[in-house]
A and B are shown apart, each in its own frame.
Chain A
Amino acid sequence: MSATITVDTGPLARFKRRRALLQLAAVSISLFMAVPIYLIAVAAFSTRDGLNQFPQPLWPKNFGTQTMETFLSSTGIVAGTINSLIVGVSTLIVSFLVGAPAGYALARFTFRGKDAYQLALLFTRALPIVVLSVPLARAFLATGLYDTPLAVTLLHTALSLPTTILITSSVFLGVSADVEEAARIFGCTPAGAFLRVVLPLALPGIAASSIFTFVTSWNEVLGATILTFSQRTLPAQVLTSLADSPLAYRFAGGLVLVIPSLIFIALMRKYLLNMWGTTIR
């Protein structure tokens, strides 16, 4: 036998180092997102006295529901939460009823003015919300819609439609036309083929898009503030009373604002990853 091979472990060491750095980056980013939420949660469940300590402890030493109770019993909070949920869910439904067919058309058909249409879609987003809201407020005042969840829903639907249409069109593009044609060959009407085959296959993507729509609506505050007076959504309610509120109110309010989005995302994520026993996309 000739001399054995001398192994250069340099590349392996570099590979390990790179992997460790990647891990570190992933952990740092996760912490960056999670730590503020954690700190707010700790503060929201501290006693009133505990809140005023500095520095704040990293563990909930002074656990108590007093802060939370104060916030939840403040004026308009429960009503605001209900309004926010109504607006968020209605926005989701209306924007899909209107947006999904448009997305489907963009995905399946070529028609004159398709590019111009796609560009024009983004135009609503080009206008600042304030610019949109003031004329809307006037119109809603005239029609009696002002200060209702419906008014906010309409605004949020208008704001979310461009993304809904563009996302659903890419989702429908992902469902092969062959599968739809197969359904029609085997006896489905065009509507039947859509309901039985295209829609089930598009659901994961539509779910992802609905997370986005809901969270956008939940977080939108400027338009909701302008279009309502007593029927405030939660962010609008919290925002308008934030400046002259005690510390406890701010922390508890922050947590309550974050939690529904987190729950919604968690639910949808599970649905996304675990459909038909396979990972899709």
Chain B
Amino acid sequence: MADIKIENLVKIYPGSSELANDNVSMHIADGEFMVLLGPSGCGKTTLLRQIAGLELPTSGAIAIGGRDVTYLPAHKRNLSMVFQSYAVFPHRRVRHNIGFGLAIRKRPRQEIEEKVAWAAELLQLTDYLDRFPAQLSGGQRQRVAVARAIVVDADVLLMDEPLSNLDALLRLSFRSELKRIVEQIGTTTVYVTHDQSEALSLGDQVAVMRKGRITQLGNPLDVYDWPADTFVGGFIGSPPMNFFDGSISGGHLTIGGNQISAPVGLDHLGAVRLGVRAEAIRVADPGTPDCLEGEVLVAEPLGASTLLTVMLGGHQLKVQAKPTIRTRSGDKILLAIDPEAIRVFDPESGVSLLGATRA
């Protein structure tokens, strides 16, 4: 086990002029679960592959456990990894797939057998040890890949979208299992995903990436609650954060002709871009003061809640309403927004005007 330190990492692929990683720095503490989150092409996988030693940085430095590994070949880094495509060895039985890393490290036979048995038990593969990967389902193959990664006593565990090839139901159940296993073994983990719900549910820390840079790094709930800019707010959360234009003057927010009280501690005046989470907007009873009037476009019952798309001052808002609400397209409703939940961004740059996070 070890910490990971990344300093001013730059990666430019040969034949390309774009920066796949643009001056990335971060510190991942020993035993921490770090999630790299971002849309495809944001450089998250490139960053992971450089930690793995499968790509070499153009400049910058990577240290694992205080040892410089920037240009060290992959096999000398003492890592383990779970691949998106599972990458189990088709010509080896499950038993030998799981024990592969230990066999290469020339561990005693008995130790290999014990550890394989332990991992197989943990991932419910005991009955499949003597099968070939071709005789397993996709979910079982992914279990083999995880088992292979956890038996070696690696300094760092890397995961490259390990759940994205599983179907939705399996993904959800395996996600919690994965969290339990990683917590149990306690290895420093770097996990790449484009799925914001995985990032929120698994990470101790989340690094949101865009265009090769880290846009925001923090614990998942902070990133969710206090997005550093409109990109992060729009990327994290399902549905994404609502954004609409407004203006601030004298302690009041003006939104599409309506006025409500402004968030406290804001000295900015003039036009702003506002962000509100769907669950922070409440459908109010008629006659409630300090409310905004909108028109329902779509109502989607989801079981636990009903998702409304509401037209307000020329913007579409997503509102998470109670499942008991009875409303139809074209209905006028009153919306109450908790001033504490309103985030304020610069209308030009999209950067938060409230500070990235609040302690």
Chain A residues proximal to chain B, CB less than 8 Å: 110, 176, 178-179, 181-190, 192, 197, 200-201, 276-278
9 closest residue pairs by CB, A with B? A186-B101, A187-B104, A178-B87, A182-B87, A184-B74, A185-B81, A200-B91, A278-B134, A178-B85
Nearest neighbor of B106 in chain A, beta-carbon distance: A187
Q: Which of B53, B83, B91 contacts A182 (CB 8 A)?
A: B83
Given A181-B54, A182-B89, A276-B132; 16 other pairs, CB 8 A cutoff = A178-B85, A179-B88, A179-B89, A181-B52, A181-B83, A182-B83, A182-B88, A184-B53, A185-B54, A185-B74, A185-B75, A186-B100, A187-B105, A187-B152, A192-B75, A276-B90
Please indicate the chain B residues that have their CB under 8 angstroms from the CB of A185 in the complex: 52-54, 74-75, 79-81, 158
How does the 8 Å CB contact mask read for B65-76 relative to A, with 1 for contact and 0 for none?
000000001110
Which residues of A sit under 8 angstroms from B158, Cβ to Cβ?
185
Docked-complex contact B75 and A188, CB < 8 angstroms: yes
Q: Residue among B75, B83, B100 with the most chain A CB within 10 A?
A: B75
Interface residues of B in 43-75 (CB under 8 A from A): 52-54, 73-75
Smallest CB–CB gap between A272 and chain B, Å? 14
Whether the pair B104, A192 counts as a contact (CB closer than 8 A) is: yes
**In the bound complex, do residue B75 and residue A187 qualify as a contact, i.e. CB atoms below 8 Å apart?**
yes
With both beta carbons as reference points, the residue of chain B lying nearest to A112 in the complex is identified as B15
What are 13 contact pairs spanning A and B, CB under 8 A?
A179-B87, A182-B87, A183-B89, A184-B75, A185-B53, A185-B54, A186-B101, A186-B104, A187-B105, A192-B75, A201-B91, A278-B134, A278-B135
Residue B194, interface by CB 8 Å: no
- Complex contacts, B90 vs chain A, CB 8 Å: 179, 201, 276
Contact check, B105 vs A277: say whether CB atoms are below 8 A apart.
no
Question: Does B148 touch A at the CB level, under 8 Å?
Answer: yes
Q: Are B132 and A186 in contact (CB under 8 A)?
A: no
The residue in chain B whose Cβ has the minimal distance to the Cβ of A275 is B91
Asked whether, in the complex, the Cβ of A186 is within 8 Å of the Cβ of B152, the reply is: yes
Q: How far is the CA of A197 from the CA of B97 in the complex (A)?
A: 11
Give Cα A179 to B91, complex, Å: 11
Residue of A185, A188, A197, A277 ringed by the most chain B CB atoms within 10 A: A185
Q: Are B132 and A278 in contact (CB under 8 A)?
A: yes
**Residue of chain B at shortest CB distance from A181:** B54
Q: If the complex has contacts A185-B52, A187-B75, A192-B104, are A178 and B83 also in contact, measured as CB distance less than 8 A?
A: yes
With both chains docked as a complex, state the minimum distance between the C-beta of B41 and any C-beta of chain A, in angstroms.
19
The answer to whether B104 touches A176 (Cβ under 8 A) is no
Interface size on B, residues (CB 8 A): 28
Query: 8 Å CB contacts to A: which residues of B180-221?
Result: none
**Chain A residues whose C-beta falls within 8 Å of the C-beta of B100 in the assembled complex:** 183, 186
Q: State A65–B158 Cα separation when bound (angstroms).
A: 69
Query: CB within 8 A of B80: which of A110, A178, A186?
Result: A186
The docked-state distance in angstroms from the alpha carbon of A277 to that of B73 is 35
Q: In the complex, what distance in Å separates the CA atom of A200 from the CA atom of B81?
A: 22
Q: Is the CB of B89 within 8 A of A197?
A: yes
For B119-134 the 0/1 string (1 means CB < 8 A from A) is 0000000000000101
Tell whether, in the assembled complex, residue B54 and residue A184 are in contact, meaning their CB atoms are under 8 Å apart: yes
A187: B residues at CB distance < 8 A: 75, 101, 104-105, 152
CB distance from B154 to the nearest CB of A (A): 9
Contacts of B81 in A (CB 8 A): 182, 185
Taken together as a complex, chains A and B put the C-alpha atoms of A277 and B81 apart, in Å, by 28
The distance from the CB of A105 to the nearest CB of chain B, in whole angstroms, is 16
Nearest A residue (CB) for B152: A186
Complex-state Cα separation, A93 to B132, whole angstroms: 30
CA distance A261 to B88 in the complex (A): 36
- Chain A: minimal CB distance from B155 (Å): 12
Cα A209 to Cα B266 in complex, Å, equals 73
- The complex places the Cα of A200 from the Cα of B92 at a distance, in Å, of 10
Q: Which residue of B has the minimal Cβ distance to A178? A: B87
Chain A residues positioned under 8 Å from B132 (CB to CB)? 276-278
With a 10 A CB-CB cut-off, give which of A182, A192, A278 has the most chain B CB atoms. A182
**Is the Cβ of B148 less than 8 Å from the Cβ of A186?**
yes
By a CB distance below 8 angstroms, the chain A residues around B52 are: 181, 185
| Residue numbers in A under 8 Å from B148 (CB-CB) | 186
Q: Given that A184-B75, A186-B80, A186-B101 are contacting pairs, would A276 and B54 also be in contact in the complex, using a CB cutoff of 8 Å?
A: no
Name B100-159 residues within 8 Å CB distance of A. 100-101, 104-105, 132, 134-135, 148, 152, 158
Bound CA–CA A181/B83 (angstroms): 9
- How far is it, in angstroms, between the C-alpha of A110 and the C-alpha of B15 when the chains are bound? 10
The smallest C-beta distance from A2 to any residue of chain B, in angstroms, reads 39
Q: Which of A181, A190, A192, A277 lies at the interface centre, i.e. has the most chain B CB atoms within 10 A of its CB? A: A181
Residues of A within 8 A of B101 (CB): 186-187
The distance in angstroms between the C-alpha atoms of A186 and B154, with both chains bound, is 9
Q: Is the CB of A176 within 8 A of B85?
A: yes
Complex interface: chain B residues within 8 A of A201 (CB): 89-91
Cα of A186 to Cα of B158 in the assembled complex, Å = 12
In Å, the complex CA distance between A201 and B92 comes to 10
